Amino acid sequence: MPQPRQPFLHDLVCVLAAPTQVWSAPDGEIGSDGRAVGAQGVLHADVRVLSVASLRAAGSPLEHLATVPEGAATRFVAVSRQAAGTARAGDELVRFDRVREVTPGRLSERIEITSLTAHEVSFELTLRLGYDLAAVEQFKTGSTVEARRFARSTPSSHSSPFTWGDDDVVASLTADSATMAVTDDGLTAELTWPLSLAPRSRTALTWSIAITDRSGAVIPPSGTGLPISAALDRLAPGAGRDRRLRPWLGRSLLDLNSLRMATPDRPEDAFFAAGAPWYLTLFGRDSLWTARMVLPIDRAPAVGTLRTLARLAGTRVDPDSAQQPGKIMHELRRGQFTFAETSLPPLYYGTIDATPLWICLLHDLWRTGAADDVVRELLDPLVAALDWLLLYGDADGDGFCEYIDTSGHGLANQGWKDSTDSVRFSDGTIAEGPVALCEVQGYAYEAARAGADLLEVFGRPGAERYREWSDALALRFRDQFWCGEGEDRYPALALDGSKRRVDSLTSNIGHLLGTGLLDADEEVLVARRVAGDALDSGLGLRTMASTDGGYHPLSYHCGSVWPHDTAIVIAGLQRAGLRTYADGLVEGLLDAAALFGGRLPELWSGEGRPVPYAPSCRPQAWSAAAAVVVAQFLATR
């Protein structure tokens, strides 16, 4: 029996407005031969409410011509020779434009039909719909999905509405002027429109699905999104005559706004979901980095992210969820999220870096001029987060921040490279924990210094304690993390459970730049490495050097390119005063943006060509936010 495999996404089309997303083939079709296919479908939060949407004219599939993004909508253009009553070549066709638009909790599709014939045509247009209410983790792993029982449905042989759902999620279908037939099992519906078109005439029809969710962990936020026009006017001219930036930045800002969401208790506190389709929810690390990257154009996402994560911060020690007092969470789900050998509770805290990153974002927000009251309300969570660094972040008492999963069902790796094989020695051997990642020490150092500054400014005690701790961390890091000799030195990726240097050369070292952990000479050594051929692919920074034994350009974390990773290093080089080393990385992302049509995926191959990583999310929040980092870099030349 074939093993289940994660479905590919690279050639699918996504239209979304969190928490609702639609994934289809390039021709707009959802599913194939009346069956669900891979990740295709209408998803709301973590549930697929529609798994099939197949359009036929005169009993035959349409012939696809083009897929055209139109702002937040997408137009799918196709023709039919069968509907025109002729199979011969030429211009005797009927054209179909499916204009798909998604708003939170709603899919709307307008089908524009144009006769390009010299005679009247009559035919039936049918739309077959299927629904399974599958949980996202079921089809993410490639497992067989069996349609769920529906607690209520209202089949009708006439026009809509038609509803299906369970106690949590209900979908309601509306299709003006269509007749409907429902299969005996209630799992498939077919809409039919009988059409007659005069020569060279046109008509249009619509159908839509409205979704009600009673128990979702995330909801659409209130308020407005990023100021796209103002951001474009401010940042895009910084690239001079470079035509690659503005389309990339514009598309990225639209995508970021489509990824905005909130929790039901505080809809005004918006944050960015990590990415579609697998991670369309709150992820501590992703949401923090994205908010940090867009600070130059809007402070509101930082405020919403900080407040939301502070409300969810740990209050007790719970190995099952990896919760600890003061710790910032990793991810939030509707229910248990299970894949392979991993099973995560709905609120999971298995991340080593979200807590220091929360502190850094709060400090960055304050430095940009946020009102004192905004910062003051977060001082208690700040103290709790700082105490977590000193009391819980060091799993084995060696003075470094490290992680190890003690539950037996959590994430084995808990830095941003969280795949099971991401922490490797230069010969390719996988390291065993507890693992102390190099970049986490940089985040922790920066967080301790930043937190101390905030405590001092706002009249809270304890600043000196955290500064002393950070000074000691810097000395330990300098003594234990560096590999090589002289001008060839570089920081190890990590220390393993036996305190050996995990000596592979990785992009992680670039995250140390600008944190303050390194001295000026050490920052130059790191800058040379990230700008060198082994790490710079020409289309962004490789996650692992091409000279290492574990390198594979199409691996998830051991040689691929992640645009947010590249952007973090670009920003770090700028903060360190080493901008010239960033020029190649900036150029690489601009090229990649053009090659990927303005919407950068989660990651791609490290081979220096625009070869996609097939299951890569798209859009991904921090990938989109990389455009803001590059635009800001170019604007400050």
pLDDT tens for 395-450 read: 888 999 999 999 999 999 999 999 999 999 999 999 999 999 999 999 999 999 99
Q: What is the mean pLDDT of residues 59-68?
A: 97
Cβ atoms within 10 Å, residue 267: 15
Q: What is the pLDDT of residue 152?
A: 46
Between CA 284 and CA 358 the distance in angstroms is: 8
Give residue 510's pLDDT band: very low, low, confident or very high (50, 70, 90). Answer: very high
Any idea which residue has 């850094």 for tokens?
Answer: 360
Q: Tell me the CATH number of domain 228-635, given options 3.40.50.1860, 1.50.10.10, 3.40.640.10, 3.40.50.300.
A: 1.50.10.10
Q: Are 526 and 510 in contact (CB under 8 A)?
A: yes
Token representation of residue 278: 């697998």
Q: Which of 27-41, 309-323, 545-559 has the lowest mean pLDDT?
A: 27-41
Between CA 255 and CA 624 the distance in angstroms is: 7
Q: Could you tell me which of 532, 553, 533 has the C-alpha nearest to residue 543? A: 553
Q: What is the pLDDT of residue 142?
A: 80
Q: Would you kindly state where each structural domain of the chain is located, as residue ranges?
A: 13-213, 228-635
The string of pLDDT tens digits covering residues 87-122 is 555 678 999 999 999 999 999 999 999 999 999 999
Q: Is the pLDDT of residue 361 over 50?
A: yes
Q: What is the DSSP letter of 219?
A: B
Between CA 310 and CA 553 the distance in angstroms is: 37
Q: What is the pLDDT of residue 284?
A: 98
Q: Identify any residues that bridge with 469 across adjacent strands, giving them in sequence order.
A: none
Q: Is the pLDDT of residue 151 over 50?
A: no
Between CA 433 and CA 427 the distance in angstroms is: 17
Q: Could you tell me which of 599, 631, 571, 595 has the C-alpha nearest to residue 246? A: 631
Q: What is the pLDDT of residue 465?
A: 97
Give residue 148's pLDDT band: very low, low, confident or very high (50, 70, 90). Answer: low
Architecture of the domain delimited by 13-213:
Distorted Sandwich (2.70)
Between CA 542 and CA 548 the distance in angstroms is: 11
Q: What is the pLDDT of residue 636?
A: 86
With vertex at residue 367, the alpha carbon angle to CA 460 and CA 470, rounded to the nearest 5 degrees, is: 55
Between CA 260 and CA 101 the distance in angstroms is: 17
Q: Is the pLDDT of residue 161 over 90?
A: no
Q: Are strands 121-130 and 52-57 parallel, antiparallel or unpaired?
A: antiparallel
Between CA 623 and CA 272 the distance in angstroms is: 12
Any idea which residue has 């909790």 for tokens?
Answer: 105
The string of pLDDT tens digits covering residues 163-183 is 999 999 999 999 988 999 888
| Nearest 10 degrees: Cα torsion 36, 42, 48, 54 | -20
Token representation of residue 428: 């390719």
Q: Is the pLDDT of residue 26 over 50?
A: yes
Q: Is the pLDDT of residue 157 over 50?
A: no
% of the chain with per-residue pLDDT over 70? 95
* Helix H or strand E encompassing 490: strand 490-491
3-state secondary structure of 31: coil
Burial 482-494 (b: 16+ CB within 10 A, else e): bbeeeeeebbbbb
Q: Are 425 and 502 in contact (CB under 8 A)?
A: yes
C-alpha distances (whole Å) from 68 to each of 77, 98, 204, 495, 591 are 8, 10, 18, 48, 21
C-alpha distances (whole Å) from 494 to each of 79, 331, 438, 515 are 56, 24, 5, 17
For residue 323, report the phi and psi dihedrals to the nearest 5 degrees. Answer: -75, 140
Q: What is the pLDDT of residue 264?
A: 97
Q: What is the pLDDT of residue 371?
A: 96
Q: Would the CATH topology of 13-213 be identical to that of 228-635?
A: no
Average pLDDT taken over every residue of the chain: 94
Alpha helices in 99-204, H assignment, sequence order: 136-140
* Helix H or strand E encompassing 135: strand 134-135
Non-local CB neighbours of 471 within 8 Å, separated by 6+ positions? none
Between CA 59 and CA 34 the distance in angstroms is: 14
